[in-house]
Amino acid sequence: MIASSKTLRAMGALGAVVLVAAGLTACSSSSPSSSAKGVYTFWDPYPQFDQTSAWTKLVDSCGTAAGVTVKRTGYDTSDLTNKALLAGQQKRSPDILLVDNPVISTLVDAGLLTSTKATGIDTSTIDANLMGAGQVKGTSYGIPIGANTLALYYNKAVLKAAGVDIAAVTNWTSLTAALEKVVAAGKKGITFAGIGTEEGSFQFLPWYWGSGANLNKLDSPQAVSALALWTNWVKKGLAPNSVINNTQTTTWQEFMTGQYAFGENGTWQLAAIKASGMDYGILSIPAMAGGAATAPTGGEFLTVPVQSDTTRYATSAKIIKCLASTDNLVKTDTTLSYIAPTAAAQAKQVAANPALAPWIEAVHQAKGRTSDDLGTKYPLISQQMWGAVQKALSGAGLPQAALTTAQTAAVAAIAANNG
Amino acid sequence: MSTSTLARSWRSLRGAGGGAGKPVPPGRRTGGARERSAQWVAWAFVAPLVIYLVVFYAYPLYRNVELSLKHYTVRSFVDGNAPFIWFDNYLAVFRDPAFVSTLVHTALFTGVSIAFQFTIGMALAVFFYQSFRLSGTLRALMLVPWLLPLIVSASTWSWMLNSDSGIVNSVMQAFGIGQINWLTSPSWSLVSVIIANIWIGIPFNLVILYSGLQAIPVDLYEAAALDGANAWQKFWRITFPLLRPVSAITVLLGLVYTLKVFDIIWIMSKGGPGDASTTLAIWSYRLGFGSTLPQFSPAAAVGNLLIILAVGFGLLYVYTQRKQQLS
């Protein structure tokens, strides 16, 4: 029996060696199969669309038209930045990357994107204000697939019951007066998303810019007045306390209860509100002194990441041109409930759905968050801004003090990032 | 290596270990080649484990330390030529105005969670030890918090604690107590996430302490009962001292687990409002993934501080266990 046990052990040892060897080969042989000649990789932040969706089919058909197969992968938006950076580090960037607009400056800073000039993608038909978010120091790095922005949805029934004339709501004073009337009538005033993430900054920006404040100076008197407006609403009960933790989805759920007069939300909710049957209207977010405030643009950009094999750019550009053709833009932006980035496509959208007209106007007035040459300074400023919003709304600090701290921290963060 | 050499080397290994023949003093063996091949085989056996440890522990840890000692921007993250700045990231973290409050939050979160989890877990373990009717079923029900995915329990907690529409506030208002902004007030948000974390941690304490209780001999209790000890004396004089080894392990494991809790806090409050419920784990995530411009180096520095703290408690655990084995 001793002999057989010896054999058993020997076989065990051999097994271990084979396993290790197999493991090592597995590590070394995982070269990207995607870099095969006829296969083009495409990453987007739309994990909600599966392989049978119209979006995937559109991407596939544009690939076929360019004579290649497109392999599309949908990632969660918050995940895509780091996925793109890691892929760049491993020299395995996708051929086409559809990415949220404030991320462009980060990826350009990392040297991962090609300019539209280098790849020959035409940007001349795109609205100039929408291109802003895709430009760094005057060079364009992609084109928007569509755009969205923020406005105030209002509930006509609630306003009527409170005796508010929406035409009289033109600036912050008249808006606050309207909210007071609504609350006095036993309903709720306004809901928005003040959560401590980029979403909170996105929702605060129309008020911030509407006060005349500039992102380079978070503690200006104008900025303080914008934050004081939000803070007073929460303090006086004109906005619910839950806004501090609200995402844009939860604030929408609050508005859809029918109890609220106003809800700050985006273009993308248009389909949902129509389906709900609520009698609603849309109002541009008013600036402090009246008129429409500048709102931030949302939406993704089609970009071509840097490849070692530069001959691939031509085909990538062909696929992008196909996706950005007027008919396809209208199709995609209708699915996403976005506004198309070109005048021709916008005209088609409004012809099919006249309710889009105020949103197209709002998008024309909007501005990219990384515009004004802020670039990668924006994320650092934004992080401090949403922190200040949270502090002021929750009563942890007064608006002035919170914004002064935020400005100091933002300046330090920018210096540390450059230094 | 052929099968026959392997077999030979194994024979020699067995020889070295004693086996049937006379014990041979090491170093006086004749076949040096045989010994070398034996060593090879020994390495082959260890190799899978070593490779696993290197790939999944050593290398990531090394990368994390490297990240924290260099100044990584997004560009140098891609290029890989970030300059060494040694401990500047750590100094920046220590000097950050948020550092002290974050450390205090981490200590409070961990300490208070463990204290309540352990006390309640112990009380429940003793309670269920009296095996009464349905005690088995009830004990099984107590395990539910442990079985639920964290995303489910944390989301449910955050809905229950919602300032305006949560069930907790509506019940409190029914009893005439005013609204508490559980997750949106700077003085309550840390309390709220601690409450949720205590609830999640009770089953772990209950299960380990309950199994510890079963190891205590029943005759001790019988003897104490004959001597006229009451229930409290039985607990304080018998149960508690005899459970000490198990308790120490439970608390130390709980410390390591609680220190790194991230998901409950992130889902419920995002570490907010402001920094009111930010712990080291949340801070590290916020730096690394919280904005569209990742700051990998400071994030790695905060992460490493967390690792050092956890390793400290881990060593304490190893030390306690060794002491227990010796005694």
Backbone phi, psi, residue A301, to 5°: -115, 140
CB A141 within 8 A of CB A167: no
Task: Please give the order of strands across the beta sheet that includes A280-283.
Answer: A188-191, A260-266, A150-155, A280-283
| Domain assignment of residue B148, yes or no | yes
Mean pLDDT computed over B286-291: 89
The stretches of A91-150 forming alpha helices (DSSP H) are 104-109, 116-119, 128-131
CB A342 within 8 A of CB A276: no
From the list B20, B74, B183, which residue is nearest A85 (CB)? B74
Fold of the domain spanning A150-296+373-418: D-Maltodextrin-Binding Protein; domain 2 (3.40.190)
A142-153 pLDDT, tens digit per residue, is: 999 999 999 999
Length of chain B as a residue count: 327
Res B164 pLDDT > 70: yes
Q: Between these two residues, A378 and B3, which has the higher pLDDT value?
A: A378
| pLDDT tens digits, B174-201 | 998 888 999 999 999 999 999 999 999 9
Does residue B188 belong to any structural domain of this protein? yes
Which pLDDT score, from 0 to 100, does residue A3 have?
44
**Other residues' Cβ atoms within 10 Å of the Cβ of residue A256:** 17
Does residue B41 lie in a domain region? no
Residues 6+ positions from A354 with CB-CB distance below 8 Å: none
| B273/A17 touch (CB, cutoff 8 Å), yes or no | no
Confidence at residue B30, expressed as pLDDT on a 0 to 100 scale: 54
B291 to A379: CB separation less than 8 angstroms, yes or no: yes
* pLDDT for A238 beyond 50: yes
- Mean pLDDT, range A231-236, rounded to an integer: 96
Contact check, Cβ <8 Å, A23/B51: yes
Q: CATH assignment of A35-144+298-365, given 3.40.50.300, 3.30.1490.20, 3.40.190.10, 3.30.70.870?
A: 3.40.190.10
Torsion of CA B144, B148, B151, B152, to 10 degrees: -70
Q: What is the pLDDT of residue A35?
A: 52
Residue ranges of B 93-112 with Cβ closer than 8 A to chain A: 97
pTM of the model: 0.85
Residue B66 at interface with chain A, using a CB cutoff of 8 Å: no
Residue B154 inside a domain? The answer is: yes
Number of domains into which chain B is organized: 1
pLDDT in tens, A187-214: 999 999 999 999 999 999 999 999 999 9
Per-residue pLDDT band for B31 (boundaries 50, 70, 90) equals: low
Residue A5 has pLDDT above 90, yes or no: no
CATH number of the domain to which B134 belongs:
1.10.3720.10
Question: Residue B321: its pLDDT value, please?
Answer: 81
Best of B164, B266, B292 to disrupt the A interface (most A CBs within 10 Å) is B292
> Does residue B13 register a pLDDT over 70?
no
Question: Does the distance separating the beta carbons of A383 and B75 come in below 8 Å?
Answer: no
Please tell me the predicted confidence (pLDDT) of residue A208.
Answer: 97
Mean pLDDT of chain A: 89
This model of the complex carries an ipTM of 0.83
In Å, what is the CA distance from B164 to each residue of A87, A240, A241, B123? 43, 7, 7, 34
Mean pLDDT of chain B: 87
Note the pLDDT tens digit of each residue in B189-243.
999 999 999 999 999 999 999 999 999 998 999 999 899 889 889 899 999 999 9
Taking alpha carbons only, the member of A282, A185, A227, A249 closest to residue A393 is A227
Domain residue ranges in chain A: 35-144+298-365, 150-296+373-418
* pLDDT given at position A259: 95
CB pair distance less than 8 Å for A245 and B183? yes
